[in-house]
Structure formats: structure tokens, C-alpha cells
Amino acid sequence: MSGTGVGSDRRVYRHALPTRLSHWLAALCVLVLVMSGLQIFNAHPALYWGDRSDPGRAIVRLRAGEAPDGGTRGITEIGGRAFDTTGILGASRDGGEVVERGFPSWSTLPGEQWLAMGRRWHLFFAWLFVLNGAAFCAWALGRGHVARDLWPTARDLRGIPHSIADHLRFRHPTGEAASRYNALQKGAYLAVLFILAPLIVATGLGMSPAIDAAAPWLPAMFGGRQSARTVHFAACFAFVAFAGGHLFMVAVTGVWNNLRSMITGWYRIDPSEEEAPLADD
Amino acid sequence: MRTTRTSRRQFGTGILQLLGASLLAGCDQLSQSDWVAAVLDRAEGLTRGAQTAILPRRALAPEFAESQRSAVFPGNGTIAPSESLYQALARGGFADYRLEVDGLVTRPARLSLADVRALPSRTQITRHDCVEGWSAIAKWKGARVAALLDHVAIVPGARYVVFRCFDALSEGGDTYYESLDLDDARHEQTILAYEMNDRPLPVTNGAPLRLRVERQLGYKMAKYVRRIEVVDHLDAIGEGRGGYWEDRGYEWYAGI
């Protein structure tokens, strides 16, 4: 990373062009894939384990029921226990009325119940997600980005307890230390790139009857096609959780500086903060 | 300094919220537009191309043990055709049923159920994957479609096999139909099933004959098959997309 002095503060070139391009493309893909995925899920809003979806054997099920006042209420069943989730899960407002609906219309793409269009969005952006991810990983591995910036160093590993404590106290690296990823950040990015993304692609493909004919071991690896579907769904929410945590960290460490560095590549380091004692030293 | 940061942050949050809201509204607008549908449609060709290129043409769908069958095999779509012709045939135990096979064939045929049962058959316990997301396992016995195509001798230039059905999903609506290319039609597990779980196919599941195409999704497996037509293009049938659900926006190639 090269630094250059600009007036009172210093700027470092933090993100290379391939990183920035693939980051924004991936962000768009994840948003479309999650929302169109929920649209697809709504066509049969229940999850199972094994190869079959036996009625009455769902692990999770969203459904509608009758409310005491005669209206519709949304029910979420988890492991046989029912929870009232009216308005969000099982039944929610679509237009004016509360109607039976797995996930609410604001969370699905398209908003209305339209499985065919949801599949089109999903399968198109799935291709984009895979091609973008593969291209980024090839670049990042080939040009040393993974080894140089993402792979934790011995010092990173030793500093993990300290880094956790700092994150919990909302104390974030400033100055020079902010120009590189901290241990938890590296762990999160590596896990998303090399565990979560491959997992969600493998479980997605495992639901394909054509792929299953050529590679029966793929759904079998997860315990069956319905298990693959359940793991796919869980991985989707792991992505949502990552995105939530990611956006939170972006917000608390400076929205504009982070946003600028992911658009132009340049990250500003405030020299007045550079003298602050660093927790991970 | 502090105040500028706060107002900047509020401004930023406002912009993000606005972007989010317009993105949602925008995507719904986009779903309605023809060119977006056409662009998204490209993925189907990519998927089909990739799966055809990578997957062995003869690969068999996984088959299961008797003990892995579903206790109840769901009936989806039409479960009791209301058409009077169908009901009359059903009342007679399908004794008067004739499967018409025509189009680009040398020897058009009208086959009784006994004729269909006399064709080379296959029995398989397979998993049915619905486009909605559920799966069920059953044992199917039926005539191999490859044997049927040999029986009527398709002519060179024939490309698709169209399965026309008795039922309309809504009263007076379009009747169901589906189509396969010759690769999938001739696949070892592609059968016209007349038995489910060792008993004659129930009406709920498509009596007297339903298609099984084990490497594709459930909507390809037409129930209540009445006529089979061999053609060289699909444009002239229905809306021209090759099937009832395809005409309503679903993919013709349903391998995923």
C-alpha cells in the first residue's frame, strides 16, 4: 500500500480495482439473490431434512391461521412449536389486507407472489455471482491479495482475544493500523469467500435434478435434496448476518471514508489519530 | 467538526434509504418490462448449455430403496380433470382410452392401455422435485418413450416430442401440454408411467398415463396424457414456448 500526504491528512491506496468492482457486483448479486430466493421459498414456505418433504415433518414452516377476531394471523412453526408472527412471517400485508405469505412482500423480488419471475432473477444473478466470485478468487489468489492482505499472520492470531475485546468496546484501529485488515476482519472475509460462498453454490446446485443425476454425491453430502435446500436457506441467512455486521462496522468506522475507499480505492488516515495508542500493539 | 460529521452521516443515511426504496420499486418495475425478462432469460440458455456440456447425456437420476418412498405422493396442479370426455373414460376404467401418436412419424398409432403396457417398460423409484421446492419419492412403472418413438418410427428432422393432455388447470382454460427434446425423450428413465407404487396410476397423479422425466422439475412431467405429437419446432403450439407453464414464464429447460 502506498501512502501520500494530502494537506493535513494522509491517504493510502487501500482497495485495488478488481476488489472494488467485484465487491459492488457481489453486493448487488447478494441483494437480488436473497430477495428472489425468499420469493422462491414463499412457493413452499417450509424446510425439511433428508430427501423428502413429508407433510408434518417440517423443521420450520410458515403458515397462516385464523385469528380470534376472524382475521388472518401468521404462524411460524419451529420444531413443532408455533409462534405468532403476524405481519412479518406466515401472513403479512400485501396491498391493503393481511394475506397468507411466507416472507413479506417488501423482502421479496418481485414483491407480489410470482415464482416464475423470482426464478429468472435468481438463476441469472446466480450465474453472475459465481462468475464474479470465481474471477475475484482467481485474481486474489494469483496476485497475492489473499496471501498478503487476507491470510492472518502469526501476530494476527495471537491478537485475536484482544481484537475481540476491542470490537466489543467499539474501539477500532485508527491511523496506520486502519490501513490493513484486523484479525476478525480477515477471518470474516476468508470465511465468506472460501466457506460460505462455496457452500451456498453447492447447496443450490444440489437442488438441481439434472446435477443430481450426474453427481448424486452432491445432495447426499448434505443428507438429501431437502437438506441441501435447508442448508442453502441457512447459508442465505449467514450472508444476511454477514452483510448486517459488515454494514454496521462500515457505519461505526466512518461511512464516507469506507465508502470512498471502496469506490476510488483511497482511504484517508487522520494523522491526529495516528498517535493514539493502538490496542493491538 | 463533530456537527459536520453528524449531518454528513444523516445525509448519507438518507441517501442510502432513498436508494434502497427506489431499488425495491425499481426491481418490481423491471420485472414487468419485456427487455429485462429477455435479459434474465439468457440464464436459461447458459444453464442448459452448461448442464448439457458438463453432464453425461446418459447419466441416470438417483434411484431409491422401497423403504425411502413417501407415505403420500402429493397431487399438484390438476388433481381431478373435469372434462366430460376424460370423466367418461375414467368411469369405464380407461378401457376405451387410446393414446394417439402422430406428427413427424412414419407409422402413426392409436394405442390402447394394453398396447402401451406391451411396450418395453422400466420400473424406477425416483424423487420428484417440484418447482415450488418440495420433493416426494415413488415407484413408477411405465413404457419407455424411446420404445414408443421406435414403434412409430420418427422421421429425420424431428426434434421435439409434444405431450398433450386432457386437463385444463382452470375451467375452460388452455389444456396442459409439455415438450421434450429427443435426448431427454430417449433417456433411459423417461417413461409413460401407468403404475405408481405397484398399483394402477391414480387419477390424482395423472391416470391413465403420465410422463416421467427424472432429470427435470415436476412441471415437465405432464399428467393425463392424451396425445403425443412429434414436431420439428414448437412455435405453432400454445404461445410457442413449449409448455403450459413455459407459456406462463417458466423455463422450458427445467434441469434446475
pLDDT in tens, B195-240: 999 999 999 999 999 999 999 999 999 999 999 999 999 999 999 9
Given this model, what pLDDT does residue B16 score?
62
Q: What is the rounded radius of gyration, in angstroms, for the C-alpha atoms of chain B?
A: 23
Residue B126 counted as domain residue: yes
A172 pLDDT more than 90: no
Tens of pLDDT, residues B131-178: 999 999 999 999 999 999 999 999 999 999 999 999 999 888 999 999
Q: B116 with B237, same domain?
A: yes
Stretch B35-47: mean pLDDT, rounded?
89
Given this model, what pLDDT does residue B162 score?
98
Q: A86 with A197, same domain?
A: no
Given this model, what pLDDT does residue A149 score?
93
Residue B78 counted as domain residue: yes
DSSP string, B73-115: PPP-S-SS---HHHHHHHHTTTTT--EEEEESBSS-EEE-HHH
Given this model, what pLDDT does residue B230 score?
98
Domain count, chain A: 2
Residue ranges making up the domain that contains A253: 6-42+108-274
Residue B39 counted as domain residue: yes
Q: B184 with B100, same domain?
A: yes
Given this model, what pLDDT does residue A259 score?
94
A125 pLDDT more than 50: yes
Residue B254 counted as domain residue: no
Contact A117 B31 (CB under 8 A): yes
**If you count DSSP H runs as helices and E runs as strands, how many of each does chain B have, helices first?**
6, 10
Q: A131 with A144, same domain?
A: yes
pTM metric for this prediction? 0.92
The label of the residue with cell 391493503 reads A96
Q: B196 with B223, same domain?
A: yes
Alpha helices, H only, chain A: 17-41, 115-142, 145, 154-158, 160-168, 183-191, 197-206, 209-214, 217-222, 225-252, 255-263, 271-274
Contact A116 B71 (CB under 8 A): no
Asked if B11 is an interface residue toward chain A (Cβ–Cβ < 8 A), one would say no
Q: A130 with A83, same domain?
A: no
B50 pLDDT more than 80: yes
Tens of pLDDT, residues A67-97: 888 889 999 999 889 999 999 999 999 878 8
Site from B7, B17, B27 to mutate, A interface, most A CB atoms within 10 angstroms: B27
Which residues in chain B touch residue A229, judged by CB atoms under 8 angstroms apart? 133
Tens of pLDDT, residues B83-120: 999 999 999 999 999 999 999 999 999 999 999 999 99
CA distance B116 to chain A (A): 27
Q: What percentage of chain A has pLDDT greater than the value 90?
A: 81
Q: Of A106, A130, A156, which marks where a domain is finished?
A: A106
Q: A86 with A164, same domain?
A: no
Given this model, what pLDDT does residue B15 score?
66
A108 or A8, higher pLDDT: A108
Q: A70 with A207, same domain?
A: no
Residue B136 counted as domain residue: yes
Residue ranges making up the domain that contains B14: 2-49
Q: B21 with B136, same domain?
A: no
Residue B213 counted as domain residue: yes
Given this model, what pLDDT does residue B1 score?
41
Given this model, what pLDDT does residue B3 score?
46
Q: B176 with B93, same domain?
A: yes
Domain count, chain B: 2
Residue A242 counted as domain residue: yes
Q: What percentage of chain B has pLDDT greater than the value 70?
A: 91
Q: B170 with B211, same domain?
A: yes
Q: B24 with B127, same domain?
A: no
Which CATH number characterizes residue A194's domain?
1.20.950.20
